[in-house]
Chain A
Amino acid sequence: MNYIAGKYDVAIIGAGHAGIEAALASARLGVKTVIFTVNMDAVGNCPCNPSIGGTAKGHLVREIDALGGEMGKTADKALLQMRMLNLGKGPAVHSLRAQIDRRKYQDIMKHKLELTKNLELRQAEIVKIEKDGDGFMLESRTHAQYLAKKVIIATGTYLGGRIFIGDVSYEGGPDGMFAATELTKSLVKMGLPLRRFKTGTPARVLRSSIDFSELEAQCGDEPPQHFSFETEEELQNKVVCHISWTNENTKKVILDNIHLSPLYSGMIEGVGPRYCPSLEDKIVRFKDKERHQLFIEPCGLDTEEMYLQGMSSSLPEGVQSAFYKTIKGLENAVIMRPAYAIEYDCVDPTSMEPTLEFKEIKGLYGAGQFNGSSGYEEAGAQGLVAGINAARAVKGESKFVLDRSGSYIGTLIDDLVTKGSNEPYRMMTSRSEYRLLLRQDNADERLTPTGYEIGLISEERWQKYLLKTEKKQQELKRLKTTTLSPTAELNEILVSRETSAVSSGVTLYDLLKRPQLSYVDLAPVDKERPDLEPIIIEQLQTEIKYEGYISKQKDRIEQVRRMSEKALPNDIDYREIQGLRLEAQEKLNKIKPLNVAQASRISGVSPADISVLIIWLSSRKKEKNK
């Protein structure tokens, strides 16, 4: 007997960081949504580091927030410690990072899903997915069937998950959960190009077994900034982290036992990320490096588990215990959960459009680690975009694609669907050619209007945003029109900041262009300045100082925009275009770029190929006009 347990507009498989954003966006846009989790206690889990944000990832969180996503708000609520990374390295690379209470984070997220209108949260392992008319039929392990018009796959490391610790290996998901072992078959049957990736996590050790007395402490910023542009309460730093280092003994223990690692014995076939290598990887690949840094981070306020950032490993538990004990402060460390490597099934993202819908299977979307990315923030960003698109498709609305020049989210998705990735993809500031424009401080300015237009930003927040923008414009105008006389007081400030004195009147704007001078420096001679939020001041300073660079980047965006307007029809057979190199023909046929700008970013498509495409397009147009 077929048990139809429910009919939905959008169904999301997986309730991790991607699934949550997808489900909330979809439900908030007013379509009937269901989200499935293998285990109700695994919703919004952080199976790796207990932190949100970091370089480039912090940008993603603020962008998710500006578009009406949930990650930033929840990170603020579950905050243990907040730091702005990279101060002093320039505004493009400032990044916010939060240590969070992982259980609290989970609870808040799960409760949010439960309370959201139009949304059902269900514990069910989906084992089968089939086309059903224009929609899909999903079946759970317990033989319940669900019908949905659109489906988003956000299975993370659960899909075909396999754990490796030394020579021990078994089917399993993260944090001791069951893996989702059946769904892969359906996906292969539907024709998705699946492959295997690998990642890993370090051990958690008991706080009381660590000797912190000789370790360097790392405190949060005071006062802590918040991720969400909506958070109004004052945040507090509640914990400190500690720093320690590996040494020659650590190296020796690892090298003596390296043959026991499944990575080196050939047991693991999945491709791991280069930026998140296990300690044994680091030691083998960087032989000359004497020591490696590690951070000891608390997992929450109501737990004694401590996370050892930088110490991921897939060596046998005994070897792990031995090498951890060589590290200062960890001499008596008690392992509560051992480190492990995990291998999982994921998809080649070049089979998707920038909406994250599969090109060949309409109505099916993918998000998060399933798409070959790595990291909670990357997952959340994709979930949001997939959720918005699925809901809009149900409502018959246009596709939602974020531009590379306007956001890190757009950059992330464009990289995935255009270039693909041979390893779990992590966001980095160096991946954005527009990073002086795409800063974390102006994420709201870049994306709140879009979030409002889509319908995920409340009227109240919109008004608040408009007010802030207005204040900023007012102040910019004032800075441009206020001229200071070359008084002794002013010149004293200038000289003390090691910049040249002035002999005639000068605007505040022109003074702020000098890299050496800050807004605060000029306070004594700028008596009429209004009281402004620090973030507005920060934005103004950056935009004034980097004006030259920002306008250069805007010019470049304009060039790319013109190329984006040259649409490439979906039905082109690139093999028929003479003058394209064979490699370019193959790549273009595979990716099917939406426009010439996207085509130009495909690796293997040269500038000369792009010239050929442009000429071909214009001659085709002329042919048609004849």
Chain B
Amino acid sequence: MRESTIAAISTAQGAGGIGIIRISGDDAISIADKVFVSFSGNKLSTLEGYRAAYGNIVFEGETLDECVALVFRAPKSFTGENVVELCCHGGNLVTKLVLRAVLKSGAEAAQAGEFTRRAFLNGKMDLSEAESIMNLISAESKSALKAATEVRQGSVSKKIYALCEKLENTAAHLSAWADFPEEDIPEISEENLRNTLNESLCELDLLIKNYDAGKAITQGVPTAILGKPNVGKSTLMNLLSGFDKSIVTDIPGTTRDVVEETVVLGDVILRLSDTAGIRETDNVVEKIGVDRAKEKISQSQLLLVVFDSSIPLDDEDRLIIDEIGTTPAVAVINKSDLISKIDIGFIKSKFENIVYISAKEGTGKDELIKAVSKATGTNEFSASAVLLAGERQRSAAESARENLASAIEAMNMGFSLDAVTIDLENALTKLYELVGKNVSEEIVDKVFHNFCVGK
């Protein structure tokens, strides 16, 4: 089976010296040729593997950046496919623009870990293959190392280190207080402890939100369109058709069985799954039960929930709304000529973001962009703010956040401080995974540094 050609920014997000846009797949070289103009005049498609060319990235008549393009030909690349790496200047805007150009030229946004997955799948699992993956992982650790050395330049590690420092001091205090009971160490005040935990939790929240927003911009956000049959999902699809999009199908060259559609909506790339169903069956009887909705919700990070303004909400609507939980969502209300019967008050109580669309007037486009931007946090996304450098860091930050929440809960329930300390240390362990340290050593060091303890 022919795999599509994928692209992503493969360097850590945030300020860095170099930004690399990696393209992999059969069409990698021809797609790269659409945006890359070498100074020598040679097309990349004329180059052998392991060759580099120097030139400009030019898209829609505009020069975006200078660039070195590295060409790897299948199977001698780590994914085993044709690969082009466009090495541009770092910085969120430049790399983002170049990626955008590549995506518009026919590549799809890569899923997290997809390059690695392809590397696994394309070769037989012999030693050399394993080694290539090891090097890949090692490259990841190098980039984590790089992130760590970027402390002075104000990147993610600086933030994590500051957070660790604060939590370490608290953990060390708790530890010294417990381990040296005869050393006259003051008991930590409950209020201080609570404040530290809450502040750290908020900071992690912010980091995670900003990461998700950044990802929505560069890699796209898995999005599901929900709603009962005949409420206007096809109207929404038509509206979305007005944006740039690409279609992924499981049989090349056909438009049947659409697996995923990518729509660029303002700053955000929406990755819509299961759109074929919506197109084809909206006018027929659609069998989308609540179970199906549940599954979609669990797989998505953004929900567009469509309602028809002319009919009152029923149980099925409410069941869907109940399933949404904390997933960011936008209520899309399809206006018709008929009198509005929908309970807007109820919708407003459940959705922060509400958009009206009208097929007849063709309106709602700008509002949708705004609402999606708000729901995904991209409106508040700051490229200069600290960004987590990948899914691994995000999941570590998420676990750390959960552990802090559990520490706060333990305090609320009246558990003794040894239990709170365990949650706190687990949170630290997760944060340390980001910077490669060992939690108990750090705390022990802090105890001796901060507290006068002896025998």
Q: A residues within 8 Å of B by Cβ? A: 48-49, 55-56, 85-86, 88-93, 274-278, 281-282, 285-286, 289, 292-293, 295, 309-310, 312, 419, 428-433, 435-436, 514-516, 545-546, 549, 553, 577-581, 601, 603, 606-609, 611-612, 615-616, 618-620, 622-623
Contact count A vs B, C-beta below 8 Å:
157
Complex CA–CA separation, A545 to B413 (angstroms): 11
Mark contacts of B381-422 with chain A using CB atoms, 8 A cut-off: 1 yes-contact digit, 0 otherwise: 000000000000000000000000000000001111111011
For B, the interface residue count at a CB cutoff of 8 angstroms equals 49
CB < 8 Å neighbour of B181 from A55, A274, A419: A55
Which A residues lie within 8 Å of B417 (CB)?
Answer: 89-90
With known contacts A55-B179, A86-B178, A295-B182, A49–B419 Cβ distance under 8 A = no
In addition to A93-B418, A619-B129, 17 A-B residue pairs with Cβ atoms within 8 Å of each other are A55-B178, A90-B178, A90-B418, A90-B419, A91-B416, A275-B454, A277-B454, A292-B184, A309-B182, A430-B178, A433-B425, A435-B418, A516-B414, A616-B134, A619-B126, A619-B131, A623-B127
Offer 21 A-B interface pairs, CB within 8 angstroms, sorted by A. Answer: A55-B181, A56-B179, A90-B178, A275-B448, A289-B452, A295-B182, A429-B178, A430-B421, A430-B444, A430-B447, A549-B422, A578-B134, A580-B134, A607-B436, A608-B137, A612-B134, A612-B137, A615-B137, A616-B130, A618-B130, A619-B129
Complex CA–CA separation, A91 to B421 (angstroms): 12
CB < 8 Å neighbour of A428 from B126, B175, B438: B175
B139 CB to nearest A CB, Å: 9
Complex CA–CA separation, A618 to B455 (angstroms): 49
Question: Is the CB–CB distance between B181 and A309 below 8 Å?
Answer: no
- Output the nearest chain B residue to A439 by Cβ-Cβ distance: B418
Complex CA–CA separation, A43 to B389 (angstroms): 59
Which A residues lie within 8 Å of B453 (CB)?
Answer: 275
Which B residues lie within 8 Å of A282 (CB)?
Answer: 452, 454
Complex CA–CA separation, A277 to B451 (angstroms): 12
B282 CB to nearest A CB, Å: 46
Specify which of A419, A580, A608 lies most central, judged by the most chain B CB atoms within 10 Å of its CB: A608
Complex CA–CA separation, A178 to B211 (angstroms): 65
Question: Is the CB–CB distance between B141 and A609 below 8 Å?
Answer: yes
Which A residues lie within 8 Å of B355 (CB)?
Answer: none
Question: Is the CB–CB distance between A90 and B455 below 8 Å?
Answer: no
B359 within 8 A of A: no
Which A residues lie within 8 Å of B144 (CB)?
Answer: 606, 608
Complex CA–CA separation, A620 to B134 (angstroms): 13
With known contacts A276-B455, A431-B440, A436-B422, A89–B178 Cβ distance under 8 A = yes
With known contacts A581-B141, A612-B138, A615-B133, A601–B418 Cβ distance under 8 A = no
Complex CA–CA separation, A430 to B174 (angstroms): 9
Which B residues lie within 8 Å of A623 (CB)?
Answer: 126-127
B441 CB to nearest A CB, Å: 6
- Output the nearest chain A residue to B136 by Cβ-Cβ distance: A579
B78 within 8 A of A: no
Complex CA–CA separation, A419 to B137 (angstroms): 24
Which A residues lie within 8 Å of B125 (CB)?
Answer: 619, 622
B250 within 8 A of A: no
Complex CA–CA separation, A277 to B447 (angstroms): 13
Complex CA–CA separation, A579 to B425 (angstroms): 30
- Output the nearest chain A residue to B450 by Cβ-Cβ distance: A286
Task: List 7 A-B pairs, minimum CB-CB distance, nearest first.
Answer: A90-B418, A579-B134, A608-B141, A90-B416, A619-B130, A274-B448, A430-B175
Complex CA–CA separation, A286 to B183 (angstroms): 13
B433 within 8 A of A: yes
Question: Is the CB–CB distance between B454 and A312 below 8 Å?
Answer: yes
B180 within 8 A of A: yes
B140 within 8 A of A: yes
Complex CA–CA separation, A49 to B454 (angstroms): 12
- Output the nearest chain A residue to B175 by Cβ-Cβ distance: A430
With known contacts A55-B181, A430-B440, A433-B425, A310–B454 Cβ distance under 8 A = yes
Which A residues lie within 8 Å of B414 (CB)?
Answer: 514-516
Complex CA–CA separation, A252 to B388 (angstroms): 51
CB < 8 Å neighbour of B452 from A93, A292, A436: A292
